[in-house]
Each structure stands twice: as structure tokens, then as C-alpha cells.
Structure 1
Amino acid sequence: MEVSRLQRRYIDFISALFHEGFLDSQFTELQHLQDESNPDFVSEVASLFFEDSERLLNELSRTLDQQTVDFKKIDAHVHQLKGSSASIGAQRVKNVCLTFRSCCDENNLEGCLGCLQQVKQECYLVKNKLDALFRLEQQILATGGVVPIMSKD
């Protein structure tokens, strides 16, 4: 596939990720930090986020499965997940975390369990979307093209 078609596909795909709320402007900020000296910066940051998210989600599952649920501990984990999702621009994950924290404040176990399933789903979705985006970037680079960067506005 020619470079210009790959670049157009990339622009359409990333625009859809923003439009569908998967990503926000923080992701664009990360892209602007990437350069020739660190060409895999964004994918490395995303990879660290997903490793950390998996650890936090497992910890949340274990904590919510206890006989006596420690909502303060749950809230601390959700707060951490919210912060890391916000830092990479994973908007839908961050938004579920906001609801999750409200359920923690109310000691709402059913709400927390529902939010846990929802945040797992959103993490899974955004991971698959970003994996596809990074594969498209690699295709563009392999054909000698330049990956288009969204503007900051």
C-alpha cells in the first residue's frame, strides 16, 4: 500500500479514536514528545501503562473479592489507575475511574464490581485500538513515510 494511503488511513483511524472518546489531547502531547532519538516513546509509555493497569486490575479484583471490602484501598488503586490513564490520554478508562471512585465513596460494592468490569473492558478496547495504531505507524515507517501527528489544538 502506498505511503499516502497509509497516512490517510492513520489520520482517519486516530481521528476516530478521538471522536469516539478513546483518546484525548494528552495522547497528542505524548506524540509531540516523541522524536528521532526516542522513536518508540509513545508505544513504550502505553506498554508501561497497560502493564501497570493489569497489575492494578488484578489487585482490584482480589480486594473486591475479600469478605470485608476495604473501600479506601480500592479507591487508592482506582485513583492510581485514573492518574495513569489520564497521563496517556486514555479518556474512557479515566472516565470509568471517576464513576468507580464515586462508588468507593458510597461503599457501593455492586457499583464497584460493575465499574471493575467496565474499566477492564475499556482497558482491553483501548489496548487493541492502540496496538492497531502502532502497527499502522510501523507500516508507514516501513514504506519510508512519516507518521502524521495530530495538531495540539
Structure 2
Amino acid sequence: MAATNPKKQLKHFITSLQDQGILDVFFNQLQQLNSKQNPPLLLELISIFCQDAEISIAEMTHHLNSAVVDYSKVIAWVHKLKGGSASIGGKQVAAACRELRLACDDKHQER
């Protein structure tokens, strides 16, 4: 059994995510910001995004499950999630946020 190179696996995984439209070219630009002086930059950015995304999704879920939905609060959390996803090249999350924003504009709770 041949040894697997983790760098090659990571590159293949990222390429796969880009091929699926999950990540966009901005992610590549972030990868290029990593340097020997600051190697964990991309990891830190993704970790912060994941933490913020978890909070944003929980808040949106809470507001959408309320008896009376305050769509302005949902929109604020959608905007935060969309901005975070765009900043790391999260193409599909940003697209999903656009759809959710349209549903909020229409006050369409089920959508």
C-alpha cells in the first residue's frame, strides 16, 4: 500500500470543492497569503468563519422558529454569514444566503 501525501490529498480535496462550486477562486488567494512567517493564517480564518457561522445559523433558526418572525433580525444574521463566507471563498454558502435573504424580503417563513 503506497503512502499517502497529506499535501496532495489536501490539494485534491480543495480542487474537488472548487469543482463542485463550494469554494471559489478567492479561496486560492487566501491560500497564497499563507507564508512561512504566518502559516496558520488560513486555518485561523476558516476556524473563525466556522465559529461565526455556527452562531449565525443558530440565531437565524431561533428567530425563524419564533411565533412572530422578526425578519430584520434574520436578515442581519444572513448578512453576517454571507460576508463571512464570501471572505473565505465559500461560494455555495454565499449563494444560499442570497436565497434566504430573498425569502426574508418576501416574509416567506417556510422558504
Query: Same-fold call, TM > 0.5?
Result: yes
Residue equivalent to 2:9: 9
State the match for 1:140 in structure 2. Answer: none
d(CA) in 2 for partners of 1:41 and 1:81?
20
Q: What amino acid does structure 2 have at the position aligned with 1:96?
A: A
**Is residue 74 from structure 1 mapped to residue 74 from structure 2 by the alignment?**
yes
* Cross-structure match for 1:43: 43
Deviation string, structure 1 residues 73-115 (Cα, Å, up to 9, x no partner): 111110110011000011111110010000001000001xxxx
How does 1:65-144 map onto structure 2 within 5 Å? 65-111=65-111
- 1:107-143 deviations in whole A, cap 9, x for unaligned? 00001xxxxxxxxxxxxxxxxxxxxxxxxxxxxxxxx
Q: TM-score normalised to the size of structure 1? A: 0.67
Q: How far apart, CA to CA, are the structure 2 residues paired with 1:57 and 1:9?
A: 30
Q: Which residue of the partner structure matches residue 54 of structure 2? A: 54
Instruction: For 2:37 and 2:86, locate their aligned partners in 1 and report how far apart those are by CA, in whole Å.
Output: 25
User: Comparing both chains, which one has the higher relative contact order based on Cα–Cα distances under 8 Å and sequence gaps of 6 or more?
Assistant: 1
- CA distance in 2 between partners of 1:31 and 1:12 (Å): 14
**Tell me, which stretches of 5 or more residues in structure 1 are unaligned?**
112-153
| C-alpha distance in 2 between matches for 1:58 and 1:8 | 35
Amino acid aligned to 1:24: D
Task: Report how far residue 32 of structure 1 moved.
Answer: 1.1
In 1, Cα distance between the equivalents of 2:30 and 2:22?
A: 15
Computed over aligned residues only, the root mean square deviation of the Cα atoms, in angstroms, reads 1.4
Separation in 1, partners of 2:30, 2:83: 15
Partner amino acid, structure 2, of 1:35: S
CA distance in 2, matches of 1:84, 1:7: 26
Unaligned runs of 5+ in 2: none
Number of residue pairs the alignment of both structures matches: 109
Distance in 2 of aligned mates of 1:20 and 1:62:
30
Provide closer, same or farther for how the CA distance between residues 9 and 26 of structure 1 changes in structure 2, counting only shifts above 3 A: same
- Displacement of 1:66 in angstroms is 1.3
